[in-house]
Amino acid sequence: MSKPVVEFVYFTASDAYKADDSLIDSAVSAVVRAPGSQNLFRGIQTEDGATLYIAVAWDSITSHENLIKNEAEYTPLVSVLQRAIAPSAAMAMLHAEFNDHAAAVRALADPATELAFFTLKSPDEAAVLPAKMAALEKELEHAPGRRSYTWGKVVEKEDQILLIIGWDSVEAHWDALKVDKPFADAVASAKESVNIDLVHVHFQEFKP
């Protein structure tokens, strides 16, 4: 049985999009209407103020693939989406299969969303990572300012997982690391096995 996934598309946003995010409403509306599409969120990365993230919850990766194969729908959709991409910028796409799909969607709806990409430092670390993630999840239960959270594999990359956490604010995340030593220690332990690249996004759900 196919599992639900969250698709993430991200790229440097054009000045035109930053001035008027309705520029691509027809494209995201088409995605929302597609069979199997559940929710769509979008927002600009906090750290650089330039990268646009679009997150789409799907009932399965097959549903997204079916939209891509539907040229009559997908070709004009991509054409409109190009308006949001800065000149010379490239678009990246990935899918995450989270352990708790509903929690991932809730995290996207939280006031601030952390996306932490964990990439194994070596294949040998794969054996110890589940225990370290379990320890991190245990400490996240008590982290101040934390809301919804879960993690799961990145479909396109065997050596990468994505941890998604909703926070009261971006500052709440950094404050939690300062005041909650067990949480900070669990993160430090994970860093022994993985390289972590994280961003924060203030997502807004799109509803046509």
62, 54, 8: which is closest to 35 by C-alpha? Answer: 62
pLDDT for residue 156 is more than 70 = yes
Q: Using alpha carbons only, what angle is made at residue 41 by residues 14 and 145, rounded to the nearest 5 degrees?
A: 110
- Give the contacts of 117 (CB within 8 A, at least 6 positions apart): 154, 160, 161, 162, 196, 197, 198
Residue 141 has a pLDDT of 94
Asked: is 5-98 a CATH 3.30.230.10 domain? The reply is no
**Exposed e or buried b for every residue in 126-156, given b needs 16+ CB within 10 A?**
eeeeeebbebbeebbeebebbbbbbbbbbee
Query: Averaged over 158-167, what is the pLDDT?
Result: 97
Q: pLDDT class for 2, splitting at 50, 70, 90?
A: confident
Query: Cβ of 22: how many Cβ atoms within 10 Å?
Result: 8
Query: Averaged over 111-137, what is the pLDDT?
Result: 96
The CA-atom distances, in angstroms, between 154 and each of 106, 136, 151, 161, 178 are 19, 18, 10, 5, 29
Q: Please, what is the average pLDDT of the chain?
A: 96
Express as a percent the part of the chain with pLDDT over 70: 100
> How is the chain split into domains, by residue range?
5-98, 112-200
Query: Cβ of 49: how many Cβ atoms within 10 Å?
Result: 9
pLDDT digits (tens, 9 = 90+) for 19-75: 999 999 999 999 999 999 999 999 999 999 999 999 999 999 999 999 999 999 999
Q: pLDDT class for 1, splitting at 50, 70, 90?
A: low
Q: Which CATH number fits domain 112-200: 3.40.50.2300, 3.60.15.10, 2.40.50.140, 3.30.70.100?
A: 3.30.70.100
